[in-house]
Amino acid sequence: MTHHSAVPTDAPLSGITIVDLTRVLAGPFCTQMLADLGARVIKVEQPGQGDDARQIGPFVDGQSAYFMSVNRNKESIALDLKAPADRQVFEALLEGADVLVENFRPGTMEKLGYDWEMLHRRYPRLVFTSVSGFGQTGPYRTLPAYDMVVQAMSGIMSVTGAPDGVPARVGVSIGDMGAGLYAVIGTQSALLKRERSGLGERVDVAMLDCQVALLENPIARYSASGQVPGPIGSRHPSMTPFDVFKAADGWFVIAAGSDAVFQRLCPLLELPALLEDPRFASNAARCEHHQALKTLLEARLASASRAHWCDLLTRNGIPTGEYNTVPEIMAHPQVKARGMLTSVSTADGTILTVAGNPVRVGSHGATVRSQPPLLDQDRAAILAELGNR
């Protein structure tokens, strides 16, 4: 059962073959994005157990929903990289590959005898992408990392949550997913460079580095003001009113990013007096008196539903949006219109709804060409293909 023939030739990465040694989240999220964009991804897994994510719940028909959400459009072969016969198969796969992606701890590939120097010598066109906790260099390079570890270490956690709350992680695995996305960018950059040079490159992406990169605003703010950023709930640190507000029946957002928007907002809310109040005369003043302003706005907003306010403000060009739960956003007409939910199915045919791919290139929208693979399900087809090469 081969899948790669089903790649539409107009897919952006059609013709690119990726050998994928990654597991759990950061690496598989990277390779799924590349697969969605048309690359052929051959997932090489540990015999017997496979990707660790296969053991993480919740389970549907005995298959991990966690695994299924980041492994569509891939083939699977189980290889023991310490066994000579399996190493031969692995090396034959590398012969035909454009990219090798791995997210082991630094040093692991060297121990297996697949260090960059050796790979570059034997497969000069191969791009070798590594995603790790702390990168291939530096004093922390050999330490293990999980999403939670880098969220805490990087400072992302220090600016997340309520001002008087306990430390809170971002509600998704931004440590893993940020690294996966940056690894996609690095891999595609190396492939573009290869178009000119004919040679593959080493791509080194660290989860901690990616979290620091995502701290753009807190780092610049601290650097400019000398004040240590802390958690401030949902409001914007330097624009007001820019926050979540309570209407009669629930939460919604008002994002007044300029004086001009604020000057339009007050008459719409029938609060003209706010425009005369020196505390709210400029964005800087509003930031200083954000709590007083929020109290006055919420007193007015409590008089009607969030649908009423969202409709009124949207019609008048004020950036706003309802606060949705996961089921609400999954049912949202805009999300449906953009095809941002897709479905995969277990071997027994149970359908699981998962997040789609947001990248559209020309007419190519990512589709599910093949279901998340069972462990080693493509062995026979891959070996046959290698034998015929």
195-239 tens-digit pLDDT: 999 999 999 999 999 999 999 899 999 999 999 999 999 999 999
Is 63 in contact with 347 (CB distance < 8 Å)? Answer: yes
Phi then psi dihedrals of residue 83, to 5 deg? -95, 125
Active-site residues, by number, are 236
pTM given for the model: 0.94
All domains in the chain, ordered by first residue: 4-214+342-388 (3.40.50.10540), 242-324 (3.30.1540.10)
**What's residue 337's pLDDT?**
95
* Structure confidence by residue, pLDDT tens digits, 337-372: 999 999 999 999 999 999 999 999 988 877 899 999
CA-based nearest residue to 23, from 56, 52, 58? 52
Residue 292, both tokens: 């007083």
CA-based nearest residue to 179, from 157, 146, 140? 146
* Structure confidence by residue, pLDDT tens digits, 129-179: 999 999 999 999 999 999 999 999 999 999 999 999 999 999 999 999 999
